[in-house]
Structure 1
Amino acid sequence: MERSRELVNELLERACVVGQADDGLRIFCKSDGGYAVTPEKYKVPVVVDAMVKTDSTNIRLRFREGAVILNWENNKDELRWHDPISGKEVGVRGKGRVPENEWIRIVWRIDESSASLIVDGEERCRFEGDYRDAAGQIGIGSEDPDGIITHVSWRTPDEVSGCSHAYPEDREFLIDYMTSKRQTER
């Protein structure tokens, strides 16, 4: 968890205010485009793993031109998907709602040919695409002043094997998944 806090402290503010709270990191975005973002760019394959909660709307993850939005302010039941390459928006009915005032785990996996979003172990969406040359900053945001993040991490396959992951049960799965994707591409 300590490394997770260090990573969170590295985030840069983009039209948002980031501050430490007792139970995690609090992000208040001043506008619809506000995110806390990584200082560096990451190249796929990448896994974004976050523990978050909100008391109302808008849990947002971002990578390059892409974004995923849960509890979208215009329709909480619709997951909003923005393609990482084109930014094209797609609504996924019945997959956007998450509980309010409860911690949830979000995992966004992007590899060379697909991207998926998993919320508390349930795959909410999967899209195929050519993401092999995608690289960009990773961001997280909320329009909600009470959007709280306790843990966020982003890793490449090589980094996963050496990190003290908050979810040890996932380490082997992530390493196997990312290694197999690299081997099939060679």
Structure 2
Amino acid sequence: MDLLEEIRGRKVAVVGAGPSLEEVREIDADIVVSADGATNFLVKRGIIPEFVVTDLDGIEVFPKESVYVVLAHGDNVHLLGKVYNMENVIGTCQVMPFGRLNLFGGFTDGDRAVVLAKRFGAREIVLYGMDLESNFIGKFSKPFLRDNVPVSWMKREKLKIAKAIIDMVLK
């Protein structure tokens, strides 16, 4: 899979799992990149993302047509078995890459998706469900959530970092 050729010059939608995701009726883009749990929502709506950026803690459906940009880290080792459900996988890391791993940048699934789109030459990046300043976490962000839940202090800090990265990338 040549990410550069797929994304370069195209309008890319990055879809996050924020509370506003349920309001999305259609996506106006050439390429859809979903962030982890947002994939579950999109597939239910009949939208198959071209790319899924995931650390595996939110995704429960695995369209065979999608390319999965997977981040493995110490907190998700127990979830790595999900990779066997994926046909096209690109391994990523957040430190010095080795072997077949790639370092594209980013911190959360959502901002890593934005960084990926920018890195590979998207003409335009539009955001859906990326509610980084909301007081709630969207119910699609984790499979065990049945409703939107209040943002914890730790999650708020992570979302601040994600917002800073996205603001810098889209500047």
Higher normalized strand content (fraction of residues): 1
TM over 0.5: no
| TM-score, length of structure 1 as denominator length | 0.31
Larger Rg: 1
Higher normalized helix content (fraction of residues): 2
